[in-house]
């Protein structure tokens, strides 16, 4: 689940089913050779890395958009 940041309408905290912080993500646009590209920044809480949760975090991001 995503919770929108109070500082940006394109930045979100990612929380698990119990409301615990799992990571965050941010969306922003860049332009290269007159083509606009959506860039996604995705970070996971360090204590959760190395546990096979990266695919869960990415799938959560995809399913929410």
pLDDT digits (tens, 9 = 90+) for 3-35: 555 556 788 888 888 988 888 888 888 888 889
Q: How many CB atoms lie within 10 A of CB 24?
A: 19
What are the tokens at 36?
Answer: 């606009």
Helix (H), strand (E), coil (C) string for the chain:
CEEECCCCCCEEEEECCCCCEEEEEEEEEEEECCEEEEEEEEEECHHHCCCCCHHHHHHHHHHHC
Answer yes or no: pTM beyond 0.85: no
Confidence of residue 65 (pLDDT cuts 50, 70, 90): low
């Amino acid at each position: 689940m995503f919770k929108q940041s109070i500082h940006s309408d394109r930045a979100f905290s990612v929380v698990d089913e119990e409301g615990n912080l799992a990571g965050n993500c941010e969306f922003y646009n860049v332009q290269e050779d007159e083509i606009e590209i959506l860039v996604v920044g995705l970070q996971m809480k360090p204590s959760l890395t190395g546990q096979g949760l990266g695919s869960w975090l990415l799938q959560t991001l995809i399913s929410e958009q």
